[in-house]
Amino acid sequence: MSSPTAEAVSRLAADTAAKYSTDTIVLLGKGPSADQVHSRVFSDAVVIGVNDAERIHPTDITIFYEDWVGESVAEDGLRSAAYVTSTSFDAPDRQVVRLPFRPIANDAEDQVLLRFQDRSEVAIEEAMFLTALEIARAVADHRGRVQQVYMVGFDFTPEAGEARAASSQYSPELSSRRRAGIELQEFILQNALYTLKDTNLDVQHVGTLAYSDLTTDLLNEKFHVEVKEPIAPQPVDDDDVEVPPVEVTAEITTNHFGDLDRLEKLVHAAQAAGADWVKVQKRDVDTFYTSQQLASPYKSPFGSTFGDYRRQLELDKEGFLFLDELTKDLGIRWFASVLDKPSFEWMTGELDVPLVKLPSTISEKRDYLSYVAENYTGSVVISTGMTDTAYEHWLLQTFTEQEALYLLHCNSAYPTPDEHTNIGVVRHYAQLAAQQNGKPGPRIVPGYSSHDYGWMASALAVAAGAQMVEKHVKLGNTEWAHFDAVAVDLTTDAFTQYVDAVRRAQLHVGSSQKKITASEHHKY
Ligand SMILES: C=C(OP(=O)(O)O)C(=O)O
């Protein structure tokens, strides 16, 4: 039995289905990629927009639940034929369908997906693309054949802003709650797309996310729109500019899941964002964990125990050689955190390793650390999360034969609260580096391994003297892997923004010599 809400949507869908001839439906969000889509794509398609996306292109149906949207669309004249809203918005000369609003309650994404599959009631979901997809489904029901749906402008990159034509004047500030909800919405979208497989909607996500089906260029090409090459930014020629060196490491940990395809995507994205290094982990699973831990039940696609899961996450020799070749081809470098003696023996015996990292988590394994200090004269990178100055003194006394000793300040909280990042420690490591300069023993390279959100602490670390910064990265989420709360998702542009911020910090730090720059002149 269909409910009054489903009937209202069905009537709206029937009217809409009668109006177009292309079997194409465009769902329009406000992400910046919508700017790249040519208007020909929209012509004679049904366009269903969320919020004030009608500012980007006129819509047949606009869906919204917040009052600011009504004000925004009214300001410049309504550009949608019909509105579906839970607000009291009224437009006398337009069709307005009122539906209840359903927020995503905490940890209740399964309820949202159940509603989507059930279809007996229709609501304005907080993840509004679900309502848009439901309306598209109703349109397809009336057309009686499969409709091609393109999701345009659903970028899930709040930091990248909105499409140019969208109104930032009305959109409320992006609260941290909304920001956190975005990841959840992406998860919901992927599940919804899965349920729509082999139905009367053939949905293609347009963009550059891991699950996107085509880019905006390919979409334009499908509609025979010539793609213009963007104008390449011109380098600024300024002999005056000094930039302190900083190496950026994209810390993959085991987020490749032992899958070389996934590893390749991660490395490509890290390189494209401007990283200097990618880093992975190597551990000897069978000695690193106890047999009890390894036998514990753990559900993953790789088996039923924690051991099955952890073994799959390791790269073998073939994996490392693949990484080596790939990074050489791309002009980026790799190194690994080597977590135990068997792994150290194996790596240094079998592979040509440029750096060995000894991460925070093994700071108590002094026997192993001393073994590396005695048996390896290349450069080591050491993170100092959850340690104090006693560890620092021990490191300086123990690692005396290496070429360079990278000291990465780190806090082992994931995420590290702002008040605990203590970037001043990087300044202290920079002072140690200055004192050590020219003396026998390893060159000290100060750095920062970031477990905080965003780029601010890393940019400040650069100002404090960091010459290496490291950020965890991942490729989307999977429902069975541990959730790395601080890893930046390489299917978004957050890591590009991180690297850009670090590079800008380098520019800002510039030279410590007081001088008159070419840009200066007295004014006031
Ligand atoms: C997690 C790691 O490092 P850190 O201690 O810098 O976080 C690592 O290198 O594997």
Q: What is the DSSP string of 388-426?
A: -HHHHHHHHHH--S-SEEEEEEE--SSSPPGGG--THHH
Counting ligand 1 atoms within 8 A of each CB, the residue from 315, 338, 449 with the most, and so the one to mutate, is 449
% of the chain with per-residue pLDDT over 90: 72
Distance 25 CA to ligand 1 centre (A): 46
Query: Range with the lowest mean pLDDT among 148-162, 217-231, 299-313, 411-425?
Result: 217-231
- Here the ipTM equals 0.97
**Both 262 and 207 in a single domain?**
no
CA distance 474 to 266: 7
pLDDT computed for residue 254 by the predictor: 95
Q: Is the pLDDT of residue 80 over 70?
A: yes
Name which of 476, 458, 478 is nearest 468 in CA terms. Answer: 458
Query: Range with the lowest mean pLDDT among 46-50, 88-92, 319-323, 480-484?
Result: 480-484
Give Dmax (Cα) for the chain.
83
Q: To the nearest whole number, what is the mean pLDDT of the chain?
A: 91
Whether the Cβ atoms of residue 282 and residue 355 lie closer than 8 Å to each other: no
**Both 176 and 63 in a single domain?**
yes
Residue at 501 is within a domain: yes
Residue nearest to atom 3 of ligand 1 (CA): 359
pLDDT digits (tens, 9 = 90+) for 296-318: 998 889 999 999 999 999 999 99
What is the average pLDDT across 420-437? 97
Count of helices and strands (H, E) across the chain: 17, 20
pLDDT digits (tens, 9 = 90+) for 96-115: 999 999 988 765 777 888 88
Distance 187 CA to ligand 1 centre (A): 27
**Both 389 and 472 in a single domain?**
yes
**Ligand 1 atom closest to Cα of residue 449:** 6
pTM metric for this prediction? 0.59
CA distance 507 to 519: 14
Whether the Cβ atoms of residue 149 and residue 203 lie closer than 8 Å to each other: yes
pLDDT digits (tens, 9 = 90+) for 39-74: 889 988 999 999 999 988 899 999 999 999 999 888
Residue 193 token pair:
């797309």
Residue at 228 is within a domain: no
**Both 169 and 269 in a single domain?**
no
**Both 208 and 300 in a single domain?**
no
Of 167, 200, 222, the residue at which a domain comes to its end is 222
**Ligand 1 atom closest to Cα of residue 339:** 10
Counting ligand 1 atoms within 8 A of each CB, the residue from 247, 253, 474 with the most, and so the one to mutate, is 253
Residue at 234 is within a domain: no
Residue at 481 is within a domain: yes
Distance 109 CA to ligand 1 centre (A): 32
Q: What angle do CA 84, 87, 92 make, to 5 degrees?
A: 65
Q: CB 145: neighbour CB atoms within 10 A? A: 7
CA distance 403 to 65: 61
Residue 175 token pair:
């609260």
**Ligand 1 atom closest to Cα of residue 451:** 7
Residue nearest to atom 2 of ligand 1 (CA): 359
Query: Range with the lowest mean pLDDT among 157-166, 183-192, 399-408?
Result: 157-166
**Ligand 1 atom closest to Cα of residue 279:** 9
Q: Is the pLDDT of residue 227 over 60?
A: no
How would you class 232 by CB atoms within 10 Å of its CB: exposed for 0-12, middle for 13-18, buried for 19 or more? exposed
What is the average pLDDT across 216-239? 68
pLDDT computed for residue 154 by the predictor: 94
Q: Is the pLDDT of residue 234 over 50?
A: no
Distance 359 CA to ligand 1 centre (A): 4
Alpha helices in 196-295 (DSSP H): 216-222, 260-273, 285-288, 291-295
Q: Is the pLDDT of residue 353 over 80?
A: yes
Q: Is residue 204 within a helix (H) or strand (E), and if so which, with residue range? A: strand 201-205
pLDDT digits (tens, 9 = 90+) for 436-471: 999 999 999 999 999 999 999 999 999 999 999 999
Residue at 233 is within a domain: no
**Both 24 and 88 in a single domain?**
yes
Distance 389 CA to ligand 1 centre (A): 19
**Both 200 and 264 in a single domain?**
no
Question: Any residues with CB less than 8 A from the CB of 254 and at least 6 apart, and which?
Answer: 280, 281, 313, 314
CATH number of the structural domain spanning residue 455 = 3.20.20.70
pLDDT computed for residue 480 by the predictor: 73
**Both 164 and 306 in a single domain?**
no
**Ligand 1 atom closest to Cα of residue 385:** 5
Amino acid identity, position 333: R
Residue 149 token pair:
């749906």
**Both 354 and 499 in a single domain?**
yes
Residue at 232 is within a domain: no
Give ligand 1 pocket residues (Cβ under 6 A): 253, 281, 337, 357, 359-360, 383, 385, 408, 410, 449, 470
Distance 125 CA to ligand 1 centre (A): 39
Distance 325 CA to ligand 1 centre (A): 24
Residue at 482 is within a domain: yes
Query: What is the domain extent for residue 481?
Result: 258-509
What is the average pLDDT across 369-381? 97
**Both 216 and 303 in a single domain?**
no
β-sheet bridge partners, residue 357: 337, 381
Query: Range with the lowest mean pLDDT among 116-120, 329-333, 443-447?
Result: 116-120
Distance 449 CA to ligand 1 centre (A): 7
What is the average pLDDT across 363-378? 97
- Of 482 and 200, the structure prediction assigns the larger pLDDT to 200
Residue nearest to atom 9 of ligand 1 (CA): 359
What is the average pLDDT across 421-450? 97
**Both 214 and 280 in a single domain?**
no
What is the average pLDDT across 243-259? 95
**Both 187 and 306 in a single domain?**
no
Whether the Cβ atoms of residue 207 and residue 33 lie closer than 8 Å to each other: yes
**Ligand 1 atom closest to Cα of residue 410:** 6
Residue at 239 is within a domain: no
Residue nearest to atom 4 of ligand 1 (CA): 359
Counting ligand 1 atoms within 8 A of each CB, the residue from 383, 384, 395, 488 with the most, and so the one to mutate, is 383
Counting ligand 1 atoms within 8 A of each CB, the residue from 277, 278, 279, 337 with the most, and so the one to mutate, is 337
* SS3 sequence of 36-54: HCCHHHHCCCEEEEECCHH
Residue nearest to atom 8 of ligand 1 (CA): 359
Q: How many domains does the chain have?
A: 2
CA distance 463 to 330: 29
Of 174, 194, 222, the residue at which a domain comes to its end is 222
Of 222, 249, 274, the residue at which a domain comes to its end is 222
Confidence of residue 89 (pLDDT cuts 50, 70, 90): very high
pLDDT digits (tens, 9 = 90+) for 134-185: 999 999 999 999 999 999 999 988 777 777 766 556 665 555 556 657 778 8
DSSP string, 80-112: EEEEEESS----TTSEEEE--EE---TT-HHHH
